[in-house]
Amino acid sequence: MSTYDIIYQIVRQIPKGKVATYGQVADLANLYGKARVVGYALYRVDMVSDIPWHRVINAKGEISQSPSRYGGDNLQRSLLEQEGIKFNTEGKMNLREYLWQPSLNVDD
């Protein structure tokens, strides 16, 4: 399985109404300190794929702006708002409320 496939597998687990940070996804993929790799992987995703790319945000609780996404930033915010995520006037969300906390499946 490729690095990108692992990233996509993790992102598919983020439930509606929750978000993960690029760094969080990188850590879960054993790519510590490589949040940009997650960004590159998600940039390649078709916006209408089964991968909920819109649920990955930066560590500040914001949508990372990119002029090369051709309106994808606005789409990302719209999709998150449709899932019930609220943004403040500065365009940030409350990570304490919306950050995904994946359960760790630890065998006894």
Per-residue pLDDT tens digits for 3-22? 999 999 999 999 999 999 99
106 domain residue, yes or no: no
Number of domains in the chain: 1
Whole-angstrom CA distances from 52 to 11, 60, 61, 89 are 6, 19, 17, 24
28 domain residue, yes or no: yes
How far apart are the C-alpha atoms of 80 and 100, rounded to whole Å?
13
Mean pLDDT to the nearest integer, 65-78: 72
105 domain residue, yes or no: no
Domain that holds residue 53: 3-98
Q: Which of 15-29, 57-71, 77-91 has the lowest mean pLDDT?
A: 57-71
pLDDT score for 19: 98
26 domain residue, yes or no: yes
107 domain residue, yes or no: no
CATH of the domain at 34: 1.10.10.10
54 domain residue, yes or no: yes
Per-residue pLDDT tens digits for 19-43? 999 999 999 999 999 999 999 999 8
